[in-house]
Structure 1
Amino acid sequence: MVKLEIGIFLLYALPQATGCFQLITPSQWGAKPANCSAPLKELLPENVIIIHTAGTPCQTKEECSRETRNVQDYHMGTKHWCDIAYSFLIGEDGNVYEGRGWRSEGAHTLGYNDLSLGIAFIGLFTERSPNEAAWKALKCLLDFSVKIGYLHPDYLLMAHSDVSDIVSPGVHIRDVISKWPHYKHQ
């Protein structure tokens, strides 16, 4: 029932956001069916964890869809997780690729999966920052998520490395988000 309500809401609300970002749904990027459906906690997510996929960056919808499928294949086939780990992925084509979405628990950050959105930039960003189109898509996604009521207005924005002993998402991404108003170093 919740998925139906989200679908109906997005059918009407998403066109308002398309001037800022385009959401590529799992069926559009060629996702495999998920084997899980654990919802986030009933409270609005109050945390956003920014990650990178540590794979190949992408510049076109075709490349980004392929990379998103590769991430899902790795998470489901090698890690044996029930789906792609992230709530959303962002390509340097400026599109947002829906993973588990707004209401499903992720598998991106131990201790935060059930109360956060995990948003991953597609690619490896230890040597450089994502391009302007990707940053714009992130900002638009966050603003839209608050507007539609799927992210707490006073959310905390964190780098994956702020809450895990890991390099992701790289110092370049962390440096940028550390200047954003919602950033909170743990």
Structure 2
Amino acid sequence: LDYYNITGSDGNLYEGGGWNWVGAHAYGYNSISYGGFIGDYTSTLPIKSALDMVQYDFTSCAVNGGRLSSYYNLYGHRQADSTECPGNSLYREIQDWAHWEVKKMVDSWDLLYL
């Protein structure tokens, strides 16, 4: 997997390359972004346990483990690249999460990208 970590449609978090891996999912932002979801979320959302895994468990682990600043910004993949990812339904959903950032991604170490 070309991600640090990725959340499955079953609600489980899967390790891609791990924390020290530089992914290949968002050109120009790979060294400062983490993870995503497996699935097509154009018209539906991931199951609640998958959403909760990323929104609460993964971010808490990343912050408490010193891998993510507690002041991180949350972006959707389409804010970095010309893509439909993470799908319209999921993109609308994450806009209500804490740390959501409206503007285009910037070069910073404190990003969580979906």
DSSP-derived class of the 1:114 partner? helix
* CA displacement 1:55-92 (0-9 Å, x = unmatched): xxxxxxxxxxxxxxxxxxxxxxxxxxxxx211111113
Greater C-alpha Rg:
1
Superposed CA RMSD in Å reads 1.1
Structure-1 residue corresponding to 2:14: 97
Structure-1 residue corresponding to 2:59: 142
Take 2:20 and 2:69, find their aligned partners in 1: how far apart are those partners? 13
Ranked by relative contact order (alpha carbons within 8 Å, sequence separation 6 or more), the top structure is 2
Take 1:159 and 1:86, find their aligned partners in 2: how far apart are those partners? 14
Take 1:123 and 1:156, find their aligned partners in 2: how far apart are those partners? 23
Gaps of at least 5 residues in structure 2 are 105-114
- Give the number of aligned pairs: 102
Gaps of at least 5 residues in structure 1 are 1-83
Take 1:159 and 1:130, find their aligned partners in 2: how far apart are those partners? 15
* CA displacement 1:8-62 (0-9 Å, x = unmatched): xxxxxxxxxxxxxxxxxxxxxxxxxxxxxxxxxxxxxxxxxxxxxxxxxxxxxxx
Do residues 132 (structure 1) and 33 (structure 2) align?
no
Relative to the length of structure 2, the TM-score reads: 0.83
Relative to the length of structure 1, the TM-score reads: 0.53
More helix by share: 1
User: How far has the Cα of 1:93 moved from its partner?
Assistant: 2.0
Structure-2 residue corresponding to 1:49: none
Question: Aligned letter for 1:113?
Answer: N
Q: Verify the 8 A CA contact 1:92 1:133 in the aligned structure 2.
A: no
Structure-1 residue corresponding to 2:107: none
Structure-1 residue corresponding to 2:108: none
> Of 56, 72, 79, which aligns to 1:155?
72
Structure-2 residue corresponding to 1:165: 82
User: How far has the Cα of 1:96 moved from its partner?
Assistant: 0.3
User: How far has the Cα of 1:130 moved from its partner?
Assistant: 0.6
Take 1:177 and 1:121, find their aligned partners in 2: how far apart are those partners? 12
Which segments of structure 1 move beyond 6 Å, counting only runs of 4 or more?
Answer: none
Question: Aligned letter for 1:134?
Answer: A
Structure-2 residue corresponding to 1:183: 100
